């Protein structure tokens, strides 16, 4: 098992290196001067542009720029000199002249919001999707199965932003069940109740469509597995139905569910932009949108690399969990 994990870690490191280089190449060779973007959209002062070019290292050869960027991830990075010296500690992802802050600091403030949103939505859709899928399979053709079919149709048809807007209109504005978030975020350790209250509607918004997909997948997987010989043998031995479903049937469908959940979770962390915009949450989505609007290249590069790295790391975690579930994977 350790050998398998070591191999996967090595491959993951190479992939992350390749991803960072590819993203750096794409943004380095865009048809505009990145130094001119550091002092606003309408900056025409050649002296300011040239000074910022030297401070951010854009005057260096491309490969040297990339090497300095990689070193900054491990040892930090300084910009400028003398009284204008700016120090960004490791892991340094650049410096934003628009926000006058290290990019790592901005991401560290936004990431907990997106992470809380994604984890809560993941737990919600796993509980609802797997539970409803199992019930629909056990009571196939009955009311629960029909109700789950309606849930799946609605969940897969409604776009995320429409679900969020409907929740805001009815739950917050019309029925006054919850207060309007108004762009606020309370950390979990500061006030767990207020943290959950602010994120409850965004969790439902994100989890709704995924729960519908998982309901359909789990129902099909449980029905298919129930026809296997070893399941019929377990029932013939007189095992309780709960043990047959929980210990034998559901376990057979666990591996693909873990794969789906890991990749979907990575997609949420990289793409919860619409939900954060609807509920005005100060997460990575709002940070990325603001960077695009303001042409803040360091933030755009950093958030792009971070989103890609999250997908790669989640693939690694899924592979390791898969190896624990199915030992045959370890010899691959």
- Report whether pLDDT(14) > 90: yes
In Å, how far are 58, 107, 198, 309, 314 from 180, measured between CA atoms?
44, 25, 8, 33, 33
Alpha helices in the chain (DSSP H): 2-28, 46-56, 62-75, 103-138, 143-157, 160-167, 192-226, 229-236, 241-243, 250-252, 254-271, 273-278, 284-293, 297-325
Burial letters for 294-311: b for 16+ Cβ neighbours within 10 Å, e otherwise? bbbbbbbbbbbbbbbbbb
How does pLDDT run across 163-218, given as a tens digit for each residue? 988 998 898 888 888 877 666 788 888 989 889 988 999 999 989 989 999 999 98
Residues 82 and 98: their CA atoms lie apart, in Å, by: 21
Tell me what pLDDT residue 271 has.
Answer: 60
How does pLDDT run across 101-150, given as a tens digit for each residue? 999 999 999 999 999 999 999 999 999 998 999 889 888 889 999 999 99
How does pLDDT run across 25-56, given as a tens digit for each residue? 888 887 777 888 777 666 677 888 888 888 88
Residues 1 and 324: their CA atoms lie apart, in Å, by: 8
List the CATH code of the domain at 109-331.
1.10.3720.10
- Report whether pLDDT(327) > 70: no
Task: Find the Cα–Cα–Cα–Cα dihedral 259, 17, 76, 41, rounded to 10°.
Answer: -90
Mean pLDDT of the residues in the chain: 84
Instruction: Supply the DSSP symbol for 45.
Output: -
Residues 158 and 207: their CA atoms lie apart, in Å, by: 12
In which residue are the tokens 């296997």 written? Answer: 228
Domain boundaries, the chain: 2-103, 109-331
Percent of the residues in the chain that have a pLDDT greater than 90, as a whole number: 28
pTM equals 0.84
Tell me what pLDDT residue 37 has.
Answer: 76
């Amino acid at each position: 098992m350790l050998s398998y994990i070591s191999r996967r870690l090595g491959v993951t490191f190479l992939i992350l290196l390749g991803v960072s280089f590819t993203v750096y190449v794409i943004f380095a060779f865009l048809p505009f001067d990145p130094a001119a973007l550091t002092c606003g959209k309408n900056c025409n002062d050649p002296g300011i542009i040239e000074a910022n070019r030297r401070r951010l290292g854009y005057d260096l050869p491309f490969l040297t720029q990339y090497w300095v960027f990689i070193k900054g991830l491990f040892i930090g990075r300084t910009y400028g000199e003398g009284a204008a010296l700016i120090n960004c500690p490791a892991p340094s992802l650049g410096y934003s002249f628009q926000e006058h802050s290290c990019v790592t600091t901005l991401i560290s403030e936004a990431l907990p919001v997106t992470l809380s949103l994604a984890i809560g939505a993941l737990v919600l859709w796993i509980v609802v999707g797997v539970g409803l899928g199992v019930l629909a399979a056990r009571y196939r053709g009955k009311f629960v199965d029909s109700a789950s079919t309606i849930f799946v149709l609605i969940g897969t048809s409604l776009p995320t932003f429409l679900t969020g807007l409907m929740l805001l209109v009815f739950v917050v504005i019309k029925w006054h069940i919850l207060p309007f978030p108004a762009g606020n975020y309370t950390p979990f350790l500061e006030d767990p109740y207020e943290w959950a209250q602010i994120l409850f509607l965004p969790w439902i918004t994100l989890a709704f469509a995924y729960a519908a997909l998982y309901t359909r997948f789990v129902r099909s997987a449980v029905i298919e597995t129930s026809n296997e010989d070893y399941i019929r043998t377990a029932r013939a031995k007189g095992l309780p139905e709960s043990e047959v479903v929980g210990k034998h049937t559901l376990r057979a469908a666990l591996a693909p569910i873990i794969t789906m959940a890991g990749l979907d979770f990575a997609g949420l962390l990289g793409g919860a932009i619409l939900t954060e915009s609807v509920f005005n949450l100060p997460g990575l989505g709002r940070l990325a949108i603001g960077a695009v609007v303001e042409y803040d290249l360091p933030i755009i590069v950093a958030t792009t690399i971070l989103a890609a790295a999250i997908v790669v790391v989640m693939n690694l975690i899924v592979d390791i969990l898969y190896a624990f579930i199915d030992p045959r994977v370890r010899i691959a």
